[in-house]
Amino acid sequence: MAPRAGLRDHPEMLIAFNKPFGVLCQFTDRSQPPRPTLAGFGLPPDVYAAGRLDHDSEGLLLLTDDGGLAHRLTDPRHKQPKTYWVQVEGDPGEEALQALRDGIELNDGRTLPARIERLDPPSLWPRDPPVRFRKTVPDAWLAITIHEGRNRQVRRMTAAVGLPTLRLVRVAIGPHRLDALQPGQWRAV
């Protein structure tokens, strides 16, 4: 019996990619001048991003050639936790941290509860351009795990409690982790 049209003749491909700062989560850009895209990193053909990271965010981006897998990774009904290491401006007090844990009222509704932990400054690659250092303004690092994926959600959450985001690095999506991948590197999962 011949296979039905549309059935895959290979298992789905899943790629973990460390998206550098300033790179768009797409393969083309029509703006002038064009901005850096995923096309410059030697990724396998026919993959596309399962979800997004803003151009000013860094870290784990999953890419696949399978629409069903992309849906399972990104649809909020599947509740894939996403963990970010976030450098914020200011010194987070317990009240701000608890508000983030409980959920924040944003202009598009209340966020789901999040897991929030203080972090020692993580050992990360240097960012280009570097985060502006201000001697008189403290900063802190948080690990934030959310189960949603609204537009610029983590940045809006931290801003809502008076802690603007300086740097945002996604380190995990569900069971998939960034691990030792450096910016621009990728591996098959």
Do residues 185 and 143 make contact, with C-beta atoms less than 8 angstroms apart?
no
Fold of 81-173: Alpha-Beta Plaits (3.30.70)
Q: Could you tell me which CATH number the domain at 14-75+177-188 has?
A: 3.30.70.580
Domains 14-75+177-188 and 81-173 share a fold: yes
Segments making up each domain of the chain, as ranges:
14-75+177-188, 81-173
Q: Of 9, 54, 66, 128, which residue is the catalytic one?
A: 54
Cβ count near 16 (within 10 Å): 19
Alpha-carbon separation of residue 46 from 147, 149, 185 (angstroms): 28, 24, 18
Summarize pLDDT for 145-167 with one digit per residue, the tens.
999 878 899 999 999 999 999 99
Q: Specify the pairing of strand 105-106 against strand 14-19.
A: unpaired
Summarize pLDDT for 32-65 with one digit per residue, the tens.
888 999 999 999 989 999 988 999 999 999 999 9
Query: Does 102 participate in catalysis according to the annotation?
Result: no
The pTM of the full predicted model, rounded to 2 decimals, is 0.90
